[in-house]
Amino acid sequence: MSVFRAYDVRGVYGKELTEKLVEDIGRAYATYLNADTAFVGMDGRLSSPLLKNAFIKGLNDTGCDAIDIGLVPTPVLYFSAAFYNKIAAAMITASHNPKEYNGVKLCRGLRTLGGEELKKIERIIKENAFRIGAGKIEKKEVLPDYIDYLSSKFEFEGLKIVIDAMNGVGALALEPILKRLGNDVIVLNGEPDGNFPKGDPNPDIEERLSELKETVIRENADIGVATDGDADRVVFVDDKGRILSGTQSSMLFIKDVLAKQKGKVVFDIMASELIRKTIESSGGVAMISPTGHTNIRRILFDYNAVFAAEASGHYFFHDDYFGYDDGIYAALRMAEIVAMKGSLSKLVSELPSWYPIKANIHCPEEKKEMVVVKLKQIYNDWNPITIDGVRVSGKGGWFAIRPSNTEDTIRIKGEFDSKESAEKMLSELKAVVEKLIKEN
């Protein structure tokens, strides 16, 4: 499998992703952007220092100067591009993946490169069409500027907050900001450790949140916050130790943002129809996007939306912030909501809910396109949205079916207003997809 994925570069270190390849990616990236300077950061993975140095060497070999900002959360890398007004910024990270993985997130200003642009980077490498020059290295501490900037944006105090950084880099920024504001902070697994001794740094795995839930209950905390390995994503736990779904968190953010500033809100094709309803009932304009943070960010900037949400926990604030996905900033916004409006569990209990369905069905890569074509034909009379797979909405619920960009999988997701409808629809959808895979 190529390390050039739909949204970034990612692979197993030493096998798919080598120092030589990352050096060439640095060369191709600087060549493609014709960059004279690039910020470079890294997460806490064991291979990140070696890959960061290789990437910087690649930049320098094209005449591009590198500003090394060291060990930081990915949002700090994005911040460096925004705050210092630079086009080129790259992060060495594999986000929430297992410890043997690493990768590179490449930016053009506040947008991340994906899809066709990553293919162009790959083509430059294959054709050995690099720019040639001699660049310099500068080391710069950006994390203090980020902490100062975010601290100046908030005023809440007096909350008890539990952070689980999952041995990633999230606590490096979130803990000092919350303490500076005057909150009581308890940190779990705050020390970056590329061995990830308690498991993959992925807050989507419910078992990984057990320690956070137990600590919130034991300490009578107001809110629990779990960041993934590079802290561009966040999951919340309420004061009763219950995990908020991405839908619930998104609805709370949407209501908060649109109460202050009306505008467009972007959500991805696999997100709940309840999000659309929340946007419209709050006076906003709903815009749907293909899945993937690169696609969502592109639409947010192209249409100057005030907020965007991806079901997996990426939140993009563009009302009073830069618009990139920042789990640390999102955590501060949620804590601010709790400080202003009271108990998080009460706020969640007031939100509408439907019965969810979800399935992942194995599908060989070569069959994915044909399956999607057939699905569009089957559901053509249902007025589907077809920008990324098939999505159908009705009065009693919705469903979406799309191929994964990173796995041999067809994903089914949806929600319905009754348990019976949900079970019946999931059974029917699985049967349709499995039949198409078998026949084609």
How are beta strands 397-403 and 409-416 bridged, if at all?
Answer: antiparallel
**pLDDT one-digit tens code per residue, 31-86:** 999 999 999 999 999 999 999 999 999 999 999 999 999 999 999 999 999 999 99
CATH of 355-439, one of 2.120.10.30, 3.20.20.70, 3.40.50.180, 3.30.310.50: 3.30.310.50
- Sorted by sequence, the CB contacts under 8 Å of residue 53 that are 6+ apart come out as none
What's the rounded Cα separation, in Å, for the pair 337 and 325? 18
User: Which of the residues 314, 318, 333, 411 is marked catalytic?
Assistant: 314
DSSP secondary structure, 191-254, as one string: S--TT-TTS-S-TTSGGGGHHHHHHHHHTT-SEEEEE-TTSS-EEEE-TTSPBPPHHHHHHHHH
How are beta strands 88-92 and 101-108 bridged, if at all?
Answer: antiparallel
Nearest to 68 by CA among 20, 11, 136: 136
User: Which of the residues 95, 249, 272, 289 is marked catalytic?
Assistant: 95
CA angle 65, 70, 71 (to 5 degrees): 155
Model pLDDT, residue 359? 96
Quick check: do 9-141 and 355-439 share a fold? no
Domains of the chain by residue range: 9-141, 144-237, 246-326+334-349, 355-439
CA-CA distances (angstroms) from residue 168 to 49, 73, 161, 177, 368? 15, 8, 18, 17, 34
How are beta strands 234-237 and 223-227 bridged, if at all?
Answer: antiparallel
- The answer to whether residue 95 is catalytic is yes
Model pLDDT, residue 7? 80
What's the rounded Cα separation, in Å, for the pair 69 and 79? 11
- The answer to whether residue 10 is catalytic is yes
Residue with tokens 């909405």, as numbered in its chain: 393
What's the rounded Cα separation, in Å, for the pair 61 and 76? 25
Model pLDDT, residue 339? 99
Angle between helix axes 48-60 and 19-33 (nearest 10 degrees) is: 40
Q: What's the chain's length in residues? A: 440
Model pLDDT, residue 430? 98
What's the rounded Cα separation, in Å, for the pair 146 and 213? 28
- Assigned CATH class of 246-326+334-349: alpha beta
Q: Which CATH superfamily is domain 9-141 in?
A: Alpha-D-Glucose-1,6-Bisphosphate, subunit A, domain 3 (3.40.120.10)
Model pLDDT, residue 344? 99
Model pLDDT, residue 192? 98
What's the rounded Cα separation, in Å, for the pair 342 and 222? 9
- The answer to whether residue 314 is catalytic is yes
Model pLDDT, residue 1? 52
Q: Kindly give the residue spans of alpha helices, DSSP state H, lying in 282-411.
A: 293-302, 327-341, 344-349, 365-378
What's the rounded Cα separation, in Å, for the pair 27 and 131? 7
Q: Token pair of 24, please?
A: 């060439």
Whole-model pTM over 0.75: yes
Q: Which CATH architecture has domain 144-237?
A: 3-Layer(aba) Sandwich (3.40)
Model pLDDT, residue 274? 95
Model pLDDT, residue 163? 99
Per run of 10 residues, the mean pLDDT along the chain (length 440 residues) is 84 96 99 98 98 99 99 98 96 96 97 94 98 98 98 98 99 99 99 97 96 99 98 98 97 98 97 96 97 92 97 94 98 99 98 95 95 96 95 92 88 96 97 93
CA-CA distances (angstroms) from residue 149 to 126, 152, 155, 173, 352? 41, 5, 12, 11, 35
